[in-house]
């Protein structure tokens, strides 16, 4: 097995690292927060002292960071990956960032004779934990084929979508569909609740038809039970839609629905809801109508 370095041990990165270890990979880990590093080293990982140190001691480096600025800092900053990289190192950035930044990082890697894939994921913390993430990859086909077994340690769907940057374009497309789906679900359940219906009954009635979706099945029960514990935070989805709109602007593509939902997410962040699950998008619609989606009192358990 190759020596894998993993940088970024947050909500997603920590369980992804654990799945790599369960698959038998040797792991070297680094994060600016000490706690998850201590946890993983207690389970058998080696400790990295910096991004540069991780790169100098690894065959493959995986980064899983919040956004483009953090990725650029980890790659280009003092003691960054490219400081410690040798020719032939493979870098896989699994962060959800702007495809423009992915291409910038890819070009910098190429100048150092470092190979690069952008490979953002979808599925949130639950699928990061159980290793069933959807992984959307951009890069050279031959490199993708070499790295696919590593990626399959963390995901059940691993698809090459095009050259470097294509992974994050695909992830942005995914985030459009998820956000708009959640927003539409919120409006539908608010309408049903205002009409005096049990939203759980409505959910069960429609989920088997054309309106049914993985998003609906995952998020409607959370809304109805008022469970907004984060699987994927509102502030991160707002970041993704911001990156989507910037990329779309650079390509001259209008995205009116995405723009509207992003404004809803900004409003929720501004009122202190940024760390709730993105299913809490329903709270914005509830605030407009004064209706809270929940089972009627007589039906409540």
| pLDDT per position as a tens digit, 253-271 | 999 999 999 999 999 999 9
Region 60-72 average pLDDT? 97
Instruction: Write down the mean pLDDT value for the chain.
Output: 96
Active-site residue 171, yes or no?
yes
Q: Within a 10 A sphere around the Cβ of 249, how many other Cβ atoms?
A: 11
What are the extents of the domains in the chain?
3-162, 169-289
Residue 215 has pLDDT above 70, yes or no: yes
Region 272-293 average pLDDT? 97
Measured CA to CA, the distance from residue 55 to residue 65 in angstroms comes to 16
Under 8 Å between Cβ of 166 and 138:
yes
Under 8 Å between Cβ of 101 and 250:
no
Cross-strand pairs, 233 = 277
Measured CA to CA, the distance from residue 223 to residue 209 in angstroms comes to 20
The domain at 3-162 falls in which architecture?
3-Layer(aba) Sandwich (3.40)
Residue 298 has pLDDT above 80, yes or no: no
Residue 296 — pLDDT band, cuts 50, 70, 90? confident
On the CB side of 206, CA atoms within 13 Å amount to: 18
**Whole-number pLDDT of residue 66:** 94
The one catalytic residue among 14, 18, 127, 171: 171
Provide the Cα torsion 26, 31, 35, 38; round to 10°.
30
| pLDDT per position as a tens digit, 112-165 | 999 999 999 998 888 999 999 999 999 999 999 999 999 999 999 999 999 999
Q: Within a 10 A sphere around the Cβ of 111, how many other Cβ atoms?
A: 8
Q: What percentage of the chain exceeds 90 in pLDDT?
A: 95
Q: Which fold has domain 169-289?
A: 1.10.1040
Region 235-245 average pLDDT? 96
Residue 1 has pLDDT above 90, yes or no: no
Look at strands 90-93 and 115-118 and give their pairing: parallel
**Whole-number pLDDT of residue 120:** 98
Residue 299 has pLDDT above 60, yes or no: no
Residue 250 has pLDDT above 90, yes or no: yes
Q: What is the pTM of this model?
A: 0.91
Residue 169 — pLDDT band, cuts 50, 70, 90? very high
**Whole-number pLDDT of residue 157:** 98
**Whole-number pLDDT of residue 297:** 77
Residue 293 — pLDDT band, cuts 50, 70, 90? very high
């Amino acid at each position: 097995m190759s020596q894998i370095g993993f940088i970024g041990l947050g909500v997603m990165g920590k369980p992804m690292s654990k799945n790599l270890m369960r698959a038998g990979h040797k792991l070297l880990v680094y994060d600016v927060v000490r706690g998850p590093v201590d946890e993983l080293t207690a389970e058998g990982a080696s400790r990295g002292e910096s991004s540069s140190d991780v790169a100098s001691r690894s065959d493959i480096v995986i980064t899983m960071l919040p956004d483009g600025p953090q990725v650029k800092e980890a790659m280009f900053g003092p003691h960054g990956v490219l400081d410690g990289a040798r020719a032939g190192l493979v870098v896989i950035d699994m962060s959800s960032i702007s495809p423009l930044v992915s291409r910038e990082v890819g070009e910098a890697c190429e100048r150092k004779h470092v190979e690069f894939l952008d490979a953002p994921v979808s599925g949130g913390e639950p699928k990061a934990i159980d290793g069933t993430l959807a992984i959307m990859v951009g890069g050279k086909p031959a490199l993708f084929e070499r790295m696919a077994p590593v990626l399959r340690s963390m995901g059940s769907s691993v698809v090459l979508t095009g050259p470097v940057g294509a992974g994050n374009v695909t992830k942005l497309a995914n985030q459009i569909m998820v956000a708009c789906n959640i927003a539409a679900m919120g409006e539908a359940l608010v309408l049903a609740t205002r009409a005096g219906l049990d939203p759980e009954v409505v959910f069960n009635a429609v989920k088997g038809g054309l309106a049914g979706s993985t998003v609906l099945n995952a998020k409607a029960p959370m809304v109805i039970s008022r469970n907004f514990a984060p699987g994927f935070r509102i502030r991160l989805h707002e970041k993704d839609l911001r990156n989507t709109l910037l990329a779309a602007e650079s390509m001259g593509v209008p995205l009116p629905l995405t723009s509207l939902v992003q404004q809803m997410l900004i409003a929720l962040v501004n009122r202190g809801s940024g760390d709730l699950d993105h299913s809490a998008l329903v709270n914005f619609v509830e605030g407009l109508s004064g209706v809270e989606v929940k089972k009627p009192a007589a039906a409540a358990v």
